[in-house]
Structure 1
Amino acid sequence: MKHTSLFILVSLLATGTSAPVFALSNERLNGQLMKLDPETRLEQTCDTEVMDQINRERSRFNVDKVIAYTFKDPVIKANLMEAPGAALRSNGRWYRLSFRCQTGPRHLDAHQLDYTLGAEIPRAEWPAHYLYD
């Protein structure tokens, strides 16, 4: 699996809009996503959707990064991504995360998304997992 950063998504999110970003409703984002190969597009869409959902549902979180492959590579099958070893960054702290995301055939929106937040990852463990400030 290609491990890609959220550069495209972060660039689009940093345009000054504070409205939630849903992959399907953001044409600029969709245009950028369509330039990616389907597997990378699926990963980027799912990362964005889980980040958005956590920010909407959990007021103490301000998630700005999701990495699907921190502790274990995600499993991708057609329109489904399972990421049992993911991590998220919120307010300068990293947390364990697992999620399951199913998209449509173009991989531009999450049709089903389930996630479980885990414990905070101690700063001493960040270097071993390539986590950063």
Structure 2
Amino acid sequence: MRLLLLVSLLVLSAPACAQDQRFLDSLRHVEPATRLEQVCDYAVMSDINRDTGRQADRAKSDVTSSPSHHGDTVIAKGGAFRSKGQWFSLSYTCKGTPDHLHVTSLQYKVGEAIPTSKWASLGLWR
């Protein structure tokens, strides 16, 4: 858990180019399944920002259900992302490289806002 927090802090505190390299370097110390989820969460945030302008600053693949792993692919049906202090449901299918450091394909779907009253039970925060 501490390593995931460290990864998040590095991502939020560095300039874009250095940020990407620090993120990748920190992921080399995480077990492969978690690494793939982290790379996919990062990629889906970037795509959401680019595609919707919602300014996603956090994504989690395991909010209402655990993601499933199939080789280099992770399927997250119960995820969420945060934008401007509000959480939204999220699902995605993400394929990574064999080392799980890069995403080769990603399809995602943004769902409804998650009511604040459910955040605590889902492990979400402002």
TM-score (norm 1): 0.85
State the partner residue of 1:89.
Answer: 82
- Establish whether residue 39 from structure 1 lines up as the match of residue 33 from structure 2: yes
Q: Distance in 2 between matches of 1:27 and 1:17?
A: 10
**Aligned-residue offset at 1:18:** 4.9
Q: Distance in 1 between matches of 2:38 and 2:31?
A: 11
Which amino acid in the other structure matches residue 41 of structure 1?
Answer: R
Which amino acid in the other structure matches residue 35 of structure 1?
Answer: H
Q: Percent identity?
A: 31
State the partner residue of 1:51.
Answer: 45
**Pair 1:4–1:51, CA change in 2 (3 A):** farther
- Secondary structure, in 3 states, of the residue corresponding to 1:14? helix
**Aligned-residue offset at 1:67:** 1.0
Decide which of 17, 25, 28 is 2:15's aligned counterpart: 17
Decide which of 120, 126, 130 is 2:113's aligned counterpart: 120
State the partner residue of 1:109.
Answer: 102
Q: What 5-or-longer segments of structure 1 have no aligned partner?
A: none
**Pair 1:6–1:63, CA change in 2 (3 A):** farther
- RMSD over aligned CA atoms reads 2.1
Decide which of 58, 62, 65 is 1:69's aligned counterpart: 62
TM-score (norm 2): 0.90
Give the length in aligned residue pairs: 126
Structure having the higher helix fraction is 2
**Pair 1:16–1:35, CA change in 2 (3 A):** closer
- Establish whether residue 80 from structure 1 lines up as the match of residue 78 from structure 2: no
